[in-house]
Amino acid sequence: MSEPWEDDEPEGPVRKFMYVNRRAPYGTIYALESLEVVLIAAAFEQDVTLVFMDDGVYQIKKDQNTDAIGVKNFSPTYRALEGYDVEKLYVEKESLESRGLTTDDLVVPVQVVDKDQLAELMEEQEVILSF
Amino acid sequence: MPMLHTVNKSPFERRTLDTALRHAVKGAAILLIEDGVYAAFDGTVVAEKVKAALADHKIYVLGPDVTARGMSEHHVIDGLEVVDYGGFVDLVTEHDKVQSWL
């Protein structure tokens, strides 16, 4: 006897959700809140795309160690997204470059897109949530 | 001793660092904390501006906020000094007053 939430088929329609992350990880709560909401959408088996642009690229910087500031380091969670079938991760090229970063600096594999490609991706979405 | 100016906002998102530098007299110290530490790293589009400011100011950056953000001392622009929390306290006591740019 399976519970409704254990059905193989999702109950409602699957929509294309894009989460646009533009804030650095610890100075404000935006990055962590976004991650929470992404996990909720993933639990409802929605079609999730994540974008990291502007200071949002810093959310997935490698080697974060928050021991000395007394705040939880949530960067390992981005590596767990794959397990929730959240695999469409995009980083804006211009944002990386202006911060002197490359994909080698990031904790997860991402697709690097330029601003024009990103604009097209945004047009394809049904829902866009900005953090 | 001139003032200590602290900056806690990312230079890519806000103009707080520019404002602090514009209002800091020669010899005043700048301390980058929280998201302000993103101004301290070499290879970014704001690095040259920070290097230029070293001519008139001693610039410090808070180490715990650097490591939290996945950066290390070797990313920090030459000429900036990394301080710990004790160093932060020393800077506050050494200067006449503190201007916290928010």
Residues B44-79: tens digit of each pLDDT? 999 999 999 999 999 999 999 999 999 999 999 999
Cβ of residue A29 closer than 8 Å to a chain B Cβ = no
Whether A69 sits inside 8 A of B47 (CB atoms) is: no
pLDDT of residue B18: 98
pLDDT of residue A6: 61
Whether B64 sits inside 8 A of A71 (CB atoms) is: no
pLDDT of residue A12: 84
Residues in chain B closer than 8 A to A23 (CB atoms):
13
Integer Cα distance of B39 and B41 in angstroms: 6
Domains and their CATH numbers in chain A: 15-130 (3.40.1260.10)
Residue B92: in which H helix or E strand, if any? helix B85-94
Q: Give the ipTM.
A: 0.94
3-state DSSP call for residue B18? helix
pLDDT of residue A2: 60
pLDDT of residue B1: 81
pLDDT of residue A7: 59
Cβ of residue B47 closer than 8 Å to a chain A Cβ = yes
Tell me whether strands A127-130 and A16-21 are parallel, antiparallel or unpaired. Answer: parallel
Cβ of residue B102 closer than 8 Å to a chain A Cβ = no
Q: Which residues pair with A86 in a beta bridge?
A: none
pLDDT of residue A45: 94
Read off the pLDDT of each residue in B3-18 and give the average, rounded to a whole number: 98
Cβ of residue B87 closer than 8 Å to a chain A Cβ = no
Query: Does residue A17 contact residue A125 with C-beta atoms inside 8 Å?
Result: yes
Tell me whether strands B4-7 and B98-101 are parallel, antiparallel or unpaired. Answer: parallel
3-state DSSP call for residue B7? strand
Determine the Cα angle at A55 with ends B28 and B20, to 5°: 15
Is the pLDDT score of B29 beyond 70?
Answer: yes
Whether A99 sits inside 8 A of B69 (CB atoms) is: no
CATH of B4-101, one of 1.10.274.10, 3.40.50.970, 3.40.1260.10, 1.10.10.10: 3.40.1260.10
Indicate the residue of B42, B67, B72 with minimum beta-carbon distance to A100: B42
Q: Which residue of A has its CA nearest to B42?
A: A100
Low-confidence stretches of chain A (pLDDT beneath 50):
none
Q: Quote the percentage of chain B above a pLDDT of 70.
A: 100
Is the pLDDT score of B9 beyond 60?
Answer: yes
